Amino acid sequence: MDDAALLWAWREGNRAAGEELFERHYATVERFFRNKVAEPDDLIQQTFVACVEAKTRFRGDSKFRTFLLGIAINVLRTHYHRIQRQRGMSPLHDTSLADLGQTPSRILSDRDEERLLLEALRRLPLQLQLLLELRYWDELKHEELAELLELPRSTINTRLRRGRELLEQQLRELAASPQLLRSTITRLDDWVEQQRRRSPLAHHDREPSA
């Protein structure tokens, strides 16, 4: 069954269909949070709870995965806004994970290039880190990004270019050697792909209600 059929069955009270949807998309949500917060489990749970609550409002205009990522983005923004208010920090769009003191839940590689990539991403403004990861980790199309982030497609294109430029700038500043910088930038898409394919954390009980 495709996602649309599973969602329809879930709305009709088929609990197993809801569980199958969550099993199918859990890795996407886990990957989304693991690069952005130290302890992602609570935010992952909040995302799926919100999905349960919103299931009847999903009209099917977009893919279910895009719908789920939209919920995850809102959960993440709420989390960051809370930290921002507590610390009296600058506007969120100008803030990076490094500014917020947030670290990835784990370093997902023993390769220096991938570790360098993750650290460089943490130093980008949040809006650009989010955009780059949604584009390259989650492989969202420009139209989907524009819908999720409520931005014109032209703005998406401009910010993606700016994000890549700033990412390479951060890589240059952080690289311990010219050789490491060269191998990271030369194979940047390869390191991104390897991060995208990392196995998700073992997941917890997250049964959707009917």
pTM, entire model: 0.76
CATH number at residue 92: 1.10.1740.10
Residue 101: exposed, middle, or buried by beta-carbon count in 10 A (0-12, 13-18, 19+)?
Answer: exposed
109 in a structural domain? yes
Can you give the residue range of the structural domain that contains 43?
3-196
DSSP 86-123: HHT-S-GGG-BHHHHT---SS---S-HHHHHHHHHHHT
64 in a structural domain? yes
- Residue 125 DSSP class: B
202 in a structural domain? no
22 in a structural domain? yes
210 in a structural domain? no
For the segment 47-72, what is each residue's pLDDT rounded down to a tens digit?
988 888 887 777 766 788 888 999 99
CA distance 128 to 164: 9
Considering its fold, how many domains does the chain have in total? 1
pLDDT at residue 3, as a whole number:
85
For the segment 127-162, what is each residue's pLDDT rounded down to a tens digit?
898 899 899 888 899 999 998 888 899 999 999 999
Closest CA to 7 of 67, 74, 72, 49: 67
pLDDT at residue 148, as a whole number:
87
Residue 158: Cβ within 10 Å count: 12
85 in a structural domain? yes
79 in a structural domain? yes
204 in a structural domain? no
